[in-house]
Amino acid sequence: MTINELLPGQKATIIKINKGEAARNRLMAMGITPGTSITILARHPFRGPVTVDLGNNRMAIGQEIARAIEVKPQ
């Protein structure tokens, strides 16, 4: 399952980031790392960004990245 499939309010743990090394490193440095618990705050319509809570840190993630982040729902 990937982030873009989660619904608002759902909690999940990041398992894997299916992106090239540069993008993966950038995401991990921003705190989007495997093992991190996330809560979906909102999904913007028309395949817009997904906003997530990473423990006091809010991030908006575009669809292309959201599709690449594998998660395990909690």
Partner 1 sequence: MAIIFIGQPNTGKSVIFNSLTGAENIVSNYAGTSMEISKAEVDWEGNKVIFYDTPGVYSLHTSDQAIELVNKLFQEEKIDLIINVVDASRLEVNLALTLELLEFSHPVVVALNQVDLAENLGLKIDSQALAGLLGCPVIKTSIHSRQGQKELKAVINSYLATGITGIKRSASISCTACANAGSCSNCSMGDDIMERSQRARIIAEQVVDTANNKHYGWLEKMQTLIDAPFPGVFILLLVGYLGFVLLLKSIQLAEGPLTALLQPLNHYIAASIKSLLSPGLLSNILSLAIPEGLIVPFTIVMPAMLMVSIIMALLEDSGLLPRYSVAFARVGSLVGISGEAVIPLSLGFGCRTPAVVASRMITRERERFIVITILSIVIPCAATLGILTSVIATFHVSPAIIVATMLITLVVLGLILNHLLPQEKLFVCELPPLRIPTWGNLLNKVKIRFTGFFTEVLPLLLVMSIAVRALLESGVLEHLYALEGISRTLFGIPAEALVAVLVTIFQRYLAPLILLHMTLTPREATIAIAMISLSLPCLPAAVMIIREIGARGLLKILGMGFLTSFIVGIGLNMVLPL
61 is a contact residue toward partner 1 (CB under 8 A):
yes
CB of 44 to partner 1, least distance (A): 5
Query: CA-to-CA distance for 43 and 63, rounded, in angstroms?
Result: 10
27 is a contact residue toward partner 1 (CB under 8 A):
yes
Fill in the amino acid letter for 5. E
CB neighbours of 24 closer than 8 A, spacing ≥ 6?
A: 17
39 is a contact residue toward partner 1 (CB under 8 A):
no
60 is a contact residue toward partner 1 (CB under 8 A):
yes
Instruction: Quickly count: other Cβ atoms within 10 Å of residue 47's Cβ.
Output: 13
56 is a contact residue toward partner 1 (CB under 8 A):
yes
Of 10, 13, 39, 54, which lies in the binding site for partner 1, with binding defined by CB under 8 A?
54
41 is a contact residue toward partner 1 (CB under 8 A):
yes
